[in-house]
Structures are given as structure tokens and as C-alpha cells.
Structure 1
Amino acid sequence: MPVDTAEEIEEILEYETIAVVGCSSTPGKAAHDVPEYLLERGYDVLPVNPYADEIFDREVYDSLDDVEEAIDVVCIFRPSEEVSGIVDAALEREDVEVIWTQQGIRDDEAASRAEDDGRRVVQDRCMKVEHRRLAA
């Protein structure tokens, strides 16, 4: 079952490195403003977007495969129909502890695969909202 208790979400919010798949360079979009908020709160945000070179004065990776740093959490800002492939890429990495799909995004089958592989999954929740609610 995906994570849904405040205690589990608080634990997840203690991780430091978040790869944001679908991170946007456009202020005003949730896929820009949420990772910016996390960056401002001390998280190491790794933008993943094949159509951008730099976001938040940081290098942008084309895919999870291109990220050399260890990743704790993969935060997904892509349509639900793209989640499965992103989860597969995350599962190829041994360092990813958590897969988090933002509000309005979910794929129950991909979530089950991730959980079966020992990863924690948060679906259909905004990291910024949860951080403000539990950690701020």
C-alpha cells in the first residue's frame, strides 16, 4: 500500500536528495515552484528534463539514467501514463528509496511494482503541501 500516514511522510521528508522528473524552467508551474520551494528548504534538488539545460542554476539531467549522484527520492511531475516508465528507470537504480508522484498523478500498477521491489511509494500528494503540513 502506498504511504499515507503522517509519520511515514515525515520520515520520507527527512531524505535529502530529490530527483524531480519533469522539473520545469517556467515559474508559476507547479513543476517549477514545488522543486524551488524544496531547494529553498535545503533539499538537494536534481532537475530531470530532456528539454532544459539549466534550472535553478543547476545542471539538468535528460533522464534518471544520467544522474550520477545518489538519489533518495524520485519526485514525478509527468502525466500518469508516463509514470510506469519512470518507475522502471527508478527501479534500475539501487539508491532510490522512495517514488513520489505529485498531486493528480498516480499509477497503481507501477506503485505495486515499486513496493514489491522494496521501495516506498507516495501517490497523488504534493511534496510542498506535505512539507508545509508536517515539517515546516
Structure 2
Amino acid sequence: MDDFETAARLLDGAGTIAVVGLSTNPGKSAHSVPAAMQASGFRIVGVHPSATELLGHRAYQRLADIEEPVDIVNVFRPSAEAADVARQAVAIGARALWLQQGIVSAEARRIAEEAGLAYVEDQCMAVVRALTGARGTAS
């Protein structure tokens, strides 16, 4: 299965997406993509080192601080940080790790796949959602 097929399958039935690097700046993709996903029925949980609220919901400093199950960890951080985020995603029991368009990491892929997480890299979540018509299951 290629990354696009994996990505489409992941969005089908996903509810909660933790976004590491969700931006406070509405002009950045790291803000507009998660906002579009939220508008499509996905619960977006922002992970940001200093924000207390993002997209109208509580934000967390670390993945480990999130108090609910996470379906997908979506990464808007540089490729060099992806392996660390992969370890954190494994630690919280996420089902999948998704690196946004332009982000690739062989080490993050290895960490995720060895732990049984589905893995997508270098794909824009909002583009895949638009092409597949996926809707989130969050209420």
C-alpha cells in the first residue's frame, strides 16, 4: 500500500488528531490545515510549547499531556524533530504518525512501524481529506 492509500485509510474513521507544531499564526499552513480538518469533523488537539488554546480548544505542551486517546499524530515540525515525535506518539499509544508535506524521516518511519503505528510522510492531510472526501468521526 502506498502512502496515499495509507493516508486515505487513516482518515476514514479517525476522530482525534493531535497536531504537533500547530501554529498560532492563521497565515501559516500549520494553522490553516488543522483548521480545515476541524471544519471537516475531526477533533484537533494542538501541541505547542507556549500556547494554552488553539482553534478554540485547550492546547498542550507535549503529547504526553493529552488526556484522551489520539488516532493520528500529525507533525508540522522540521524533519530533524520527527524521530522524537515518533517516540512520543508510540508512548501515548497513537494509532498513526503523519508527517506533513515536505517532512520526511527514515528514523521516524522505522520507530513508528516497529511499534505498529501506521505511517505517512510528505503528504498534506488537508489535500488527502479533500481528494477522498473523508469526514472526521469526532462529535
The within-5 A match list for 1:96-115 is: 96-115=94-113
CA contact (8 A) 1:3 1:121 kept: no
Alignment deviations for residues 72-102 of structure 1 (CA, whole Å, 9 cap, x no partner): 00000000011111111111122x1110000
The within-5 A match list for 1:8-87 is: 8-14=6-12, 15-87=14-86
CA contact (8 A) 2:83 2:111 kept: no
- CA RMSD for the aligned pairs? 1.3
> Aligned partners of 2:62 and 2:2: how far apart in 1?
25
TM-score by length of 1: 0.93
Identity score, percent? 38
Q: Which amino acid in 2 is paired with 1:109?
A: E
Q: Which amino acid in 1 is paired with 2:16?
A: T
Q: Which amino acid in 2 is paired with 1:116?
A: E
Which structure 1 residue ranges, 5 or more long, are not aligned?
Answer: none
TM-score by length of 2: 0.91
CA contact (8 A) 1:23 1:49 kept: yes
Q: Larger RCO: Structure 1 or Structure 2 (Cα < 8 Å, ≥ 6 residues apart)?
A: 2
Q: In 2 relative to 1, CA 5–129 (structure 1 residues): closer, same or farther, beyond 3 Å?
A: closer
Q: How far has the Cα of 1:9 moved from its partner?
A: 2.3
1:90 equivalent in structure 2: 89
Which structure 2 residue ranges, 5 or more long, are not aligned?
Answer: 135-139
> Aligned partners of 1:114 and 1:87: how far apart in 2?
6
Q: How far has the Cα of 1:3 moved from its partner?
A: 4.5
> Aligned partners of 1:90 and 1:30: how far apart in 2?
22
